[in-house]
Homo-oligomer: A and B are copies of this chain.
Amino acid sequence: MAKLQTKRDFPVSNARRYLEPGPIVLVSSAWQGRTNIMTMGWHTVLEFSPSLIGCMIWEGNHSHEMIRESGQCVINLPTTALTDTVVRIGNTKGYEVDKFAHFGLTAEKAAKVGAPLIGECHANFECRIHDDALVARYNFFIFEVVKAHVAPSPKHPETLHYTGDGVFMVAGKIISRRAKFKPEML
């Protein structure tokens, strides 16, 4: 079981550091006294500043309505320590259970949004809806990251990258080519 992670403030304009690699994330939401958690693999960074993240959240998910109504959510980054929890959350429909209690996860108070942080995740990105222009057509939300929290170690945690069909790729090993980048490209 994953442990609670102690985190530090992290610059929102650098959310790409954790989200651009394309990991499966857990999205937590709150609305009218209830909370929910869903797994999400369809997301992309859109801008550094404001820090924008685009996310496809299917309208069949209860989280869709909760996020739309509250205008907020938290994008939480699980590591491979949470693999089975990620799968179990993906298998469970919202409202059936209190997912925090059911999966032994810790709901921590966020700084700027009503949705809770998942304490066991490596990083948490507090988000507000920035633009809902494509929600009706594609279920595509554009969020602004308004506050970020990241565990300082490990520097490169193992993350899960979903391929469909029950199979995750694991990223963790790194390759640095920093010396080969033009400085303006970093």
A116 at interface by CB-CB < 8 Å: no
* Secondary structure of the A contact surface, majority rule: mixed
Mark out the residues of chain A between 2 and 57 whose CB falls within 8 Å of any chain B CB in the assembled complex. 14, 16-18, 20-23, 41-47, 52, 54-56
Q: Which residues of B contact A47 (CB under 8 A)?
A: 56, 138
Per-residue CB contact flags for chain A residues 154-186 toward chain B (1 = under 8 Å, else 0) read 001001111111111111111111111110011
Chain A residues engaging chain B, CB cutoff 8 angstroms: 14, 16-18, 20-23, 41-47, 52, 54-56, 80, 83-84, 87-88, 90-91, 131, 133-134, 137-138, 140, 142, 156, 159-182, 185-186
B22 and A90 contact, CB distance less than 8 A: no
Complex Cα distance A161/B43, Å?
Answer: 14
B56 and A45 contact, CB distance less than 8 A: yes
Q: How many copies of this chain sit in the oligomeric assembly?
A: 2
Q: Tell me the minimal C-beta distance from A42 to chain B in angstroms.
A: 5
Q: Which residues of B contact A174 (CB under 8 A)?
A: 163, 167-170
B159 and A181 contact, CB distance less than 8 A: no
A182 and B46 contact, CB distance less than 8 A: no
A22, A41, A42, A173 — most chain B CB neighbours (10 Å): A22
A83 and B161 contact, CB distance less than 8 A: no
A173 and B170 contact, CB distance less than 8 A: yes
Q: Which residues of B contact A23 (CB under 8 A)?
A: 22
B21 and A181 contact, CB distance less than 8 A: no
A176 and B186 contact, CB distance less than 8 A: no
Whether A87 contacts B181 in the complex (CB less than 8 A), given A42-B20, A138-B52, A161-B161, comes out as yes
